[in-house]
Chain A
Amino acid sequence: MANKTVLIKIKRQANPESQPYWEEFELTWRPGMNVISSIMEIAANPVTRDGKKTTPIVYDSNCLEEVCGSCAMLINGRARMACSALIDKLDQPITLEPFSKFPVVRDLSVDRSVLFENLKAVKAWVPVDGTYDLGSGPRMTPDEQEGAYPLSRCISCCCCMEACPQFNESTGFVGAATISQVRLFNTHPTGKVLKQDRLSALMGDGGIQECGYAQNCVEVCPKDIPLTKSISEVGKDVMKKAVVDFFRQ
């Protein structure tokens, strides 16, 4: 047991423009290791498997308990959160790569601001700002709360987008997370005043129509958000609006 080791291959890239390359690291096995704790260990002693000194790996992480959404990466080729990826449950050598559909900042850190842009494009917020106190909002029934709560757990990790076969540069698809947030805010008693705006936004190029219903998003989502149900529900609303607009506008 004493000599048990963990083999990790990491795809590195010095800056957004440079070529990626692979480095291998070998760590001593300890109980309860996860991918983030392993990269931390490499940072403490950045030496590759063949003894070459290197730079620490750049990566994003924060909460270390799968609630902040920052540590998403490709682990053995699949999009998932590094802080909840236990070493003992992974096939070795473990490969770590940055997301393939987002611009690399450096090493495992990628720029996921496209999700933020998409959330802005669909007005994924409850409009309560104003010049005077609007008073308390309408009450939500326990039923509504129960429907909304799972949707509100999205951590903006972008796993659903990375794994989606339709999310790429040629479709410019908005991705499941944003569609699900549209459902969340459209069902909110105050948020729904922007419902029509959100639905028309999703009819734009790259909108909900690009979904091919491969259902990878719902499989890969670390927060088990019912994304395919969101896509169908919002799909229905968008379709209704399209038909109504056709006859009324």
Chain B
Amino acid sequence: MASSVQTSPRIGKGVPPLRAGQGNSFFWRRLHSLSGIIPVGVFLTEHMISNFAATNGPPAYNDTVKFLTSLPALIVLEWVGIFIPILFHAGYGIYIWWRGDNNVTDYPWQGNWLYTLQRYTGIIVFAYILFHTYTMRFTGVHLATHPDQAFKKVHDELLHPWAMAIYVIGVVTASWHFGYGIFLFCAKWGIATGERARKRVRAFGIAVAILFMVLGLSSAYSFVNPKNQVPANSAASVNSSTQSGMTQAPATTDNQ
């Protein structure tokens, strides 16, 4: 017995000890955390505010889209500021999710539920973003060249109850994921460390989540609000609100 005391008595595998000073998972994991705030969170904030212009009617919305699509180096902004960061955040996020163990059944506590929820909302938001960019950015009327069709494009899509349901889910999950993500960011980076400070930041994050839900849902509603159903600057007839499904097809092919 005595002779074997010096060697580590570990039996079997188990969880390996800390690999002090090795690897670069610290960099990637913190970059993932940061990317959720900058630029993805910043973009979400901009997107929520811009879309809120829809509540002022089609012309206001189309003007906002016109302004955004007139930004210089749009394609670079899109890829570097939005698409690549989102793809990285989602991809690395799925990797994080896959490596964690869900244990809410044994430890059904609030923090643990929210940890779990952060993973599920993340995957739902990502699926939603794929759908959303496919329908809004990569298919249909190209808005960068036809910003005046923006309101109509969203309006036509949201008329489908399924699309509306997907939007509602997307807005709610994205708002929550970002709001709670603000708390996680501040807690992990040591911006709020004490018990009370962390509670305050969490309340702030939840307030942001609720605010974004309200912004997002009221924007979504304005696209189908009967008051707003006149597609501005479009060649379609005035009564298109009742036939939007029919006017959509020619408009789309015209502009391709």
Contact = CB atoms under 8 A, between A and B. Distances in A.
A49 to B, nearest CB: 25
A212 B20 contact: no
Interface of B: 8-23, 25-26, 29-30, 96, 99-103, 105-107, 109-112, 114-116, 118, 184, 187-195, 198
B197 to A, nearest CB: 9
Given A78-B107, A201-B21, A228-B187, A212 B15 contact: no
Interface in A143-198: 161, 163, 165-174, 178
A186 B61 CA distance: 55
B111 A216 contact: yes
B9 A204 contact: no
Contact of A229 (B15, B105, B115, B193): B193
Contacts of A171: 99-100
Contacts of B106: 77-78, 163
Contact of A172 (B15, B118, B189): B15
Nearest to A212: B115
Contacts of B21: 200-201, 203-204
Contacts of A203: 21, 26
A231 B191 CA distance: 12
Contacts of A236: 189-191, 193
A172 B21 CA distance: 14
Given A215-B109, A233-B193, A210 B29 contact: yes
Given A102-B15, A105-B11, A122-B20, A216 B192 contact: no
Given A165-B103, A214-B112, A216-B112, A204 B26 contact: yes
Nearest to A203: B26
Nearest 5 A/B pairs, CB to CB: A236-B190, A215-B111, A103-B12, A205-B23, A214-B115
Interface string A82-122: 00000000000000000001111100000101100110011
Given A103-B10, A216-B107, A232-B193, A207 B15 contact: no
8 contacts: A16-B11, A117-B8, A165-B100, A165-B103, A172-B17, A202-B20, A204-B23, A206-B25
B11 A163 contact: no
Contacts of A113: 8-10
